[in-house]
Structure 1
Amino acid sequence: MNVLQRLEENQLTRLAAARPVPVFQAGDTVRVSLRVVEGERERIQAFEGVCIARKNAGVNSNFTLRKISYGEGVERIFPLYSPRITAIEVVRRGVVRRAKLYYLRGLTGKKARIAERARDSVRPERETQTRGQSSGQSSGQSSGVS
């Protein structure tokens, strides 16, 4: 590992510790809160849209959000580890079969909708039992017949 990679890795761990980044991918609806400076005032602005692209490149990672605002398509590219971003929140998860959803640019209305993913398929782990085995008996015990 060369010096540049080592520096980038250290920077990445520091940035990830400062503001945790949620797990999201293309097709998910994401709300990004970022600091905007207008003159001497500073305020928080929210941008909510569908993630159409994600580029994972260490410190230079970014993602693109697309939304329809007053009938016009608006896309914005956000650096993932930007200090201006105060929060990233996943609003809903979508089902898509592509990593880049640039085809949404040409679709309008209901055609541009993305189906919502059923609740995360992560189920709590539980013991698997074989058929005919009650919960009170373990596999090492006999059935009581001597």
Structure 2
Amino acid sequence: MLKHKKNLSPLINLIEANYTKKNLPLIEIGDSIKIKKVIQEGNKERIQMSEGVVIGQNNSSINKTITIRKTIQNIGVERIYLIHSPQIINIEIIKKAKVRKSKLYYLRKRSGKSTRLKQRTNA
């Protein structure tokens, strides 16, 4: 049984390669990003913009997800986006921040000026 699983891995990677997006920017933790996503309501389609700070990232080939956090009227809103989803049209990086952790869950407990992150400068 184990021999079959090892042989399937290259085949799965070959199939997943057709569905992965090639023109994605390099998204890192702490980046402020803007996402354009197609929303379908009944038989109508519209484009919805969403922006926020990337506080988490899960990397597993085609199932790569990012968690975006944004505060709206002093309420924190987090959404998880599947990067290679066909509903996502465009991802644009607004700012890059200098962070030392891989998950920024500590931002959940804070509000206001304490949620600001240091901007990264390209040296």
Please, what TM-score do these two structures have when normalized by structure 1? 0.75
Q: Which residue of 2 aligns with 1:136?
A: none
| CA drift at 1:11 | 3.6
2:72 is the counterpart of 1:69: yes
Deviations 1:55-102 (A, max 9, x none): 111111100000011221000000111111011111110110000000
2:92 is the counterpart of 1:89: yes
Query: Of the candidates 57, 61, 64, which is equivalent to residue 58 of structure 1?
Result: 61
Greater strand fraction, Structure 1 or Structure 2: 2
Counterpart CA distance in 1 for 2:35 and 2:22 is 13
Q: What percentage of aligned pairs have identical amino acids?
A: 36
Counterpart CA distance in 2 for 1:59 and 1:75 is 21
Contact map agreement 2:74 2:111 (CA 8 A) in 1: no
Q: Which residue of 2 aligns with 1:40?
A: 43
Instruction: Trace 1:98-109 onto structure 2 (pairs within 5 A).
Output: 98-109=101-112
Counterpart CA distance in 2 for 1:42 and 1:64 is 24
Counterpart CA distance in 2 for 1:115 and 1:96 is 8
Instruction: Give the residue type in structure 2 aligned to 1:99.
Output: S
**Do the aligned partners of residues 60 and 92 (structure 1) sit closer, same or farther apart at CA in structure 2, a change above 3 Å counting?**
same
Q: Which residue of 1 aligns with 2:7?
A: 2
Q: How many residues align?
A: 118
Q: Indicate the structure whose relative CO is greater, using CA pairs within 8 Å and at least 6 residues apart.
A: 2
**Do the aligned partners of residues 41 and 67 (structure 1) sit closer, same or farther apart at CA in structure 2, a change above 3 Å counting?**
same
Counterpart CA distance in 1 for 2:72 and 2:19 is 31
> Per the alignment, in what secondary structure is the counterpart of residue 103 of structure 1?
helix
Q: Which residue of 2 aligns with 1:25?
A: 28
| CA drift at 1:19 | 4.9
Q: Which residue of 2 aligns with 1:15?
A: 19
Q: Unpaired segments of 5 or more residues in structure 1?
A: 122-146
Deviations 1:112-143 (A, max 9, x none): 0111111x33xxxxxxxxxxxxxxxxxxxxxx
> Per the alignment, in what secondary structure is the counterpart of residue 6 of structure 1?
helix
Counterpart CA distance in 2 for 1:104 and 1:7 is 40
**Do the aligned partners of residues 60 and 43 (structure 1) sit closer, same or farther apart at CA in structure 2, a change above 3 Å counting?**
same
